[in-house]
Structure 1
Amino acid sequence: MIGEISRRITIFLLILCGFATASGCARGPTWEAVSSYDEFSDKTTVMVTTGDWPQPGSRTFSYGMIYPVIMKTVEGLAVGFMSGGQFKVPVGAVQMRVDGNEAIMVTPENTPNISEIEAWFAPFIVDIPGLDNDAINNAQKVAVENAMRMSQPYTLVVGDEADRILDQMLSGQNLIYRQILVNQPNPSTGRVPLDQSLSEALRKAGLIN
């Protein structure tokens, strides 16, 4: 009896899911403007990204996965990738390609620091008589910056390169990307359609006119 009820519920859910898919309600827009609020700094970050749809009408960001992202930073418009999940992991280098355009590598070395680097660097400043303190402090600051970039849960590019990538995305049809990982010669490829929802989300986020 219980088995028959379970079977009927399963059939009903499959029919319902099929109806939702046919009516265009199983998913939401491919690209969406999302925001996050920092209750310590009172800052709200708005970005445009994608996500996963484990069930109709429910967008999630899965742990261990990366997602394309477009946002504003202190250095201007940024395009790249972010880590999903509640506990985010470093993204590292990511290779991306729009349609038949040349593949582009987005690396941590070019990623702007969203957090305040001075706050991290302050405890390391030295002032020792007889030494080249400027050279020592600069070398330590570069080391701290590089360590922060490598550990960040996002990899971004800014400036002219970001503008070029965004132009490709707005005029393209498909985006493919993959993480460049150590000891993983054939990483899986992510694929995202570049449909009308991209430009709509960018306008909603105030990133384009």
Structure 2
Amino acid sequence: MDKKVLIFARVSSTNGTQDYERQINDLQALASANNWIVEAVFAEKVSGAKKNTERTELMNMIDYINSHDINKILVTELSRLGRDTLQVLQTIEILNQNKVSIFIQNYNIETLTPEGEVNPVSQFLITILAEVARMERKTIRERVASGYQNFRNNGGKVGRKVGYSKSDETMKEEYAEELRLLKKGYSLRNVSKLTSTSINTLRKIKALM
């Protein structure tokens, strides 16, 4: 039976449009071979510094998924989902939450089974990616801790001043993207996956709505 699918393509902002065409053409051929109906194509050109919430095409695609009966997305390779491991994992997780499977062409696997459960083979690859991301974050934390310690050793003081707290307006400005997603009805967990903002912080933000 035919299935509706979306195509998602991505290149960095320094590349030309030809890469879009190659990805899209390859995925359209893949869809045709499997009798999948391509409902829409989303292609983005973004810099490596962009957060998931700042990726217009990704957010448009998620909105499209939520308003249409879509359960499969096609990408040529895993790296097309984000600029780094953590961003890729966040994207996969938010789609898993919505029971949307990602077909990764170069691995010829899907992230979910036909029943909507996590595919064990893809989970193995994702687990490796998660471990790499954990190691990257651990290295960053160690560097930050070392910098703080060096600062303290030289007489510096860190932390907020006693009695300091952010005003509501400051919170709204600092977490504008989170507020936008919460107002659109995204769950705390989904917004947390998209933005890396903690659930506790999101609860505080939601209270400002």
Q: Give the TM interval when normalised to the shorter protein.
A: under 0.3
TM-score scaled to structure 2, two decimals? 0.24
More strand by share: 1
Structure with more of its chain in helix, by fraction: 2
Tell me the TM-score normalised to structure 1 length. Answer: 0.24
